[in-house]
Amino acid sequence: MVKVLFFARLRQQLGMGEITLEDFSGSLSELRKTLCEQHPDWSPHLQRDDIRMALNQELAETGAQVKAGDEVAFFPPVTGG
């Protein structure tokens, strides 16, 4: 099981902050593709170039490998400070 989190504007656009994927293994970009296949209306939001990804609470690139038990997050560019 992989826990997937969404934050800020993206969370509002997708209408949820958390979803779990059973039996997923592959890269972050494959995980994003899987989510967009399951929820076609997410694609324009989730596939935006500026969406950042984190794997186990650290910023990660699209090629990073995801395994069972991992926590993945998608979010817009950060605006703290």
Partner 1 sequence: MKLHFSRRLPAVSGANMKAVDRIEVCETPLDVAAEYTALQGNSGDGACALFVGSVRDFNAGSDVCGLALEHYPGMTEKSLQQIINDARDRWSLGRVTIVHRVGPMQINDEIVFVGVTSPHRQAAFAACQYIMDRLKTEAPFWKREAVADEFGKPSERWVEARASDAAEMEKWSAG
Smallest separation (angstroms) from partner 1 to the CB of 37: 25
Which CB, 17 or 29, lies closer to partner 1? 17
Residues of this chain that bind partner 1 (CB under 8 A): 5, 7-9, 50, 54, 57-59, 73, 75-81
Which amino acid, one-letter code, is at 58?
E
Long-range contacts of 8-14 (CB under 8 A, 24+ apart): 8/75, 8/76, 9/76, 10/45, 10/46, 10/51, 10/74, 10/75, 10/76, 13/42, 13/45, 14/39, 14/42, 14/45, 14/46
Of 7 and 33, nearer to partner 1 (C-beta) is 7
Least distance in Å: CB of 75 to partner 1?
Answer: 6
CB of 58 to partner 1, least distance (A): 7
Nearer to partner 1, 1 or 37 (CB): 1
